[in-house]
Amino acid sequence: MSLLTADRDMEAAEVLLRDGPHLYENIGFHCQQAVEKYIKGVLVAFALPAPFIHNLVILLGPLQQANLVQLMPQDLADAATLNEFAVEFRYETDDAPSFTSADLLAMADRFRTKLRPLAQAFLT
């Protein structure tokens, strides 16, 4: 499994943040996709099942159970926030978000920092 696609999702989110920070739905979608791919990369690297689901909180469960990563309550809260972009925010809403586009990218970057090295070490 290549982490290139996850890295490209992060790059897309970074470009969108720089050029269109108001595009939080798109930024959030790329952040969610990147984190999902980093999680699945670690799952595959450690021969754990990588189910075809998009729920980041559920996907993180086996990583915690195997003691591969230590997650703080804020990590799970961030995963739940990013989950909303897998489907929910693809549809227009009038609700103002409680976060900024920069917040979303920061959430994804924290997951990248924790997960990418684990996957990279086994997938090169």
Instruction: Write the secondary structure of the chain as one string of H (helix), E (strand) and C (coil).
Output: CCCHHHHHHHHHHHHHHHHCCCCHHHHHHHHHHHHHHHHHHHHHHCCCCCCCCCCHHHHHHHHHHCCCCCCCHHHHHHHHHHHCCCCHHHCCCCCCCCCCHHHHHHHHHHHHHHHHHHHHHHHC
pLDDT at 110: 98
Are 100 and 24 in contact, with CB atoms under 8 Å apart?
A: yes
49-103: pLDDT as tens digits: 999 999 999 999 999 999 999 999 999 999 999 999 987 555 566 666 788 999 9
pLDDT at 62: 97
For residue 40, pLDDT over 60 is answered with: yes
Query: What's the CA gap between 63 and 42, in Å, rounded?
Result: 8
For residue 30, pLDDT over 90 is answered with: yes
Least confident of 35-39, 89-93, 95-99, 105-109: 89-93
1-21: pLDDT as tens digits: 579 999 999 999 999 999 999
CATH 1.20.120.330 fits 4-123, yes or no: yes
User: Per-residue pLDDT averaged across 35-44, rounded?
Assistant: 96
pLDDT at 124: 59
The pTM for the full model equals: 0.92
pLDDT at 119: 92
